[in-house]
Every structure is written in C-alpha cells, then in structure tokens.
Amino acid sequence: MVANSEIDADMLYATKFFAPDPFVFLERDGKRTLLLSDLEIDRGRKTAEADEFLPYSRYEKEVQGDRKKAPQYDEVVAHFLKQQKVKSVFVPAGFPLGLARELEANKIRVEVAGELYWPERETKTEAELRLLRKALEITATGMARGIEVLKKSKPGKGQKLDWSGQVLTSEMLRAEIDSAILRAGGLPAGTIVAGGDQACDPHERGHGPLKSNSLIILDIFPRSATSGYYGDMTRTVLRGRASDAQRKLWEAVNAGQALALKKMKPGVDGLKLHQEVKQFFADQGFPTEVRDGRQTGFFHGTGHGLGLEIHEFPRFQKTVFKEGQVLTVEPGLYYPGLGGVRTEDVVALTKTGVRMLSHFENKLEI
C-alpha cells in the first residue's frame, strides 16, 4: 500500500499510525516494513505497528545519484521494491494508477484486490468494539450539547427559536455540537442540523433559523482523534409541541427501527429486511414514492457498516448478516410540508441477535 493514513482506512488499519503524507507499507511472509520520510520515521518507530522501518531518503539518494533534480516518488518506490527483490504486489483497488504503471514498467506485476483489501475489517474484534464505543460516547457528548441548547431556546418572532438573545440557526447549533465534540476528543465531520423541509433531503446539513414546533434532524458522526474510528447517531427532536401528524411520523420511524433491530441476526438477508421495513412503513400509511417530482417516504438504505470509515463495508442491504459485523440502523421518513424523521443507532451482530453500542435518550419533544 502507498497512502496517507489519515484518510486511507486500510493503511490506518494495518499500521495504527497517523501520517498526513503517503508512505509505503509492504508485507511479505508476515513481516511488515514501512518506508517513511525522515520527518516521520522516528515517530513511526515509536507508535506504528510494523517490524521494520526504512528511510525513504536512502532510496531517493540511490535513484538520484549524480542527477541535480530529485527523482519522482513513483520512481523511488519502484526502486525500493526492486531492492527488496519484489516481483509482484497485491494492492488495494484504489492504488495510484501512475504508480501501478511505474511498477509494471519495472517488471513488477500488479494484482488488484476486490472490494476488501483486509477482509478481516468486515468483522470487529473486542478491542475495536471498545474504540467504537468510545467514538460513540464522543458522539453522544455532541448530541447532548445540541439538545441542551435547544432546551434553553424559546420561541420568538415567526416561531424562530431564540437562544441567548439571538435567532438560533442551524449553523449556530452545529457549531455548539462540533465544539463539544472537539473538547471530548473527536473530529467533527459534516454534522447535520436540518429543520423542517430541509430535513427531507437526508444529506442536507441545514442552514438558517430553526423554528419551534418543527421537526429537527440531528445527525452526528465524528471521528475519534486518537483511534480514527467513527461514531454515528441520529435523533429527531422538536422544540415545543408536536402535531398528531408529526408524532405519528416519528413513532412510525422508531417502530421501523425496532423491527429491524429485532430481526437482525447472523444469516438474515439485509436486503429482505430492508424491504420489510419499507413495507412496514407503507402499511402504516407512509409509502415510498415520487410526489411533485421529489422522492418521499423511505428512499435510502436502512444502514451501513461503521468503523475506520463512516460508510464502510458492509452495506446493510447488500450483506447477509454475520457475527462481528458493526452496522448503523437508521430508517427515515421524509414528506415535504410535514418534515423528516430519522433515528439512528449502532449495533454489533452477536450469535443470536445484536448488541447495542450507542446509548442516548430518544425523545421527540424537548
């Protein structure tokens, strides 16, 4: 692998080492070697999981020789592999194309992995579950701050919420949530605070004033700054009094999530369960369809894998569940004019069902 481990989950998984620039990982016969810059090699020796640490500068100097201009990175990596007597490599699907061509030009055969480079990432160890629970604790800290600010807000002109003498906006509430996450040791990543019809676009982050008696989706998915694992949690709340229609929508979503959680266990087909949840919503009077040119109802996945990536393998409806998988369970319903509701928690598959990893109160009116 040749990657920046701050953004490449496979590299971070293998090395447990955060680095902002690409470096080289080579494993042969169980021995793991890292080729690191002079800037990173001492830190790597202290914190990275590997058996051998080699300086990139050594191989760069060998390639450069008497040249005035430093050689290209790809050229140095190819030289390093030839010095290691490597004749073929097995690389991730996202391996750099230019580097692959350079290796092939140097008679090094490149074999590309399929969807999973490290198949063991699909299921989580107990150590990983502890790191995920910590990331979810950070997530809950952000959620608690969001709820706290909403509780302290009051209806103002035009039903706009007032907080500390100012109109409370999605941007302001997101800043409060993200600040709490930073203080708790997390890195905020696209926090969603979307009220009213904005929430009917599930990935709309939210903007402008928040209103009383209106559904507000809080979707929080920070990364732990120390481990790199993600948390992910969604609650839908309302500051004030919910109408019968709003409450019915909220209750239906939570019943749909409960249905999925009850039926999840090893051997169950995720797609069939997803379709069952969608049919349950339709039976409750919430069909999934196109209205006035917009998708309405339940038109996204029931969940996704969670770990060193916010959306990682497996996808809920593209897997047969197996013990050790970690998935979000996040059904939602969206109807412009009424609003959107989504509830999301994280579970680990056990031998007989699921173990809840996320813990936070789920209450509509605040």
Whether the CB-CB separation of 275 and 256 falls below 8 Å is answered with no
Give me 304's structure tokens.
Answer: 């996704």
Query: In this structure, is residue 218 part of a structural domain?
Result: yes
Residues in a beta bridge with 209: 169
Q: What is the CATH number of the domain that holds 143?
A: 3.90.230.10
Q: Which residues of 76-99 are buried (b: 16+ CB within 10 A; e: fewer)?
A: bbbbbbeeeebeebebbeebbeeb
Based on the fold, state whether residues 93 and 222 are members of the same structural domain: no
Mean of per-residue pLDDT scores for the chain: 97
- Cα–Cα distance, 149 to 120 (Å, whole number): 41
**Residue 183 neighbours by CB distance under 10 Å:** 12
Residues 98 and 228 in one domain: no
Which of 117, 136, 154 corresponds to the end of one domain?
117
Q: pLDDT tens digit string along 259-317? A: 999 999 999 999 999 999 999 999 999 999 999 999 999 999 999 999 999 999 999 99
Is 363 contained in some domain?
no
On whether the CB atoms of residues 79 and 62 are closer than 8 A, the answer is yes
Q: What was the pLDDT predicted at 14?
A: 98
Largest CA distance in the chain: 79
Dist. CA 150–CA 342, nearest whole Å: 18
228-262, pLDDT tens digit by residue? 999 999 999 999 999 999 999 999 999 999 999 99
- Alpha-carbon Rg for the chain, nearest whole angstrom, is 24
Residue 268 has a pLDDT of: 98
Tell me which of 117, 137, 172 is where a domain ends. 117
pLDDT score at 304: 98
Q: What is the CATH number of the domain that holds 112?
A: 3.40.350.10
Residue 19, classed as helix, strand or coil, is: coil
Reduced to 3 states (helix: H, G, I; strand: E, B; else coil), residue 256 is helix
* SS3 assignment, position 323: coil
87 and 178 co-located in one domain: no
Collapse the DSSP code of 359 into the 3-class scheme (helix H, G, I; strand E, B; otherwise coil) and give the result.
Answer: coil
For residues 334 and 347, state if they share a domain: yes
Domain residues for the domain of 34 are: 2-117
C-alpha to C-alpha distances, 38 to 44, 65, 74, nearest whole angstrom: 10, 19, 17
Final residue belonging to a domain, choices 117, 134, 155? 117
Give the count of domains, the chain. 2
Report residue 281: phi and psi, to 5°: -60, -45
* Shared-domain flag, residues 106 and 144: no
Same domain assignment for residues 141 and 113: no
Question: Looking at the structure, do residues 10 and 32 belong to the same domain, yes or no?
Answer: yes
Same domain, 101 and 153: no
Instruction: Determine the average pLDDT of the residues in 84-112.
Output: 97
pLDDT at position 270, please? 98
Q: Are 132 and 78 in a shared domain?
A: no
Over the stretch 172-206, which tens digit does the pLDDT of each residue have?
999 999 999 999 999 999 999 999 999 999 999 99
Same-domain status, 190 and 293: yes
Over residues 152-158, mean pLDDT = 95
- Model pTM? 0.95
Q: For the residues 323-329, what does the mean pLDDT come to?
A: 98
Q: Phi/psi at 86 (nearest 5 deg)?
A: -85, 130
% of the chain residues with pLDDT over 90: 99
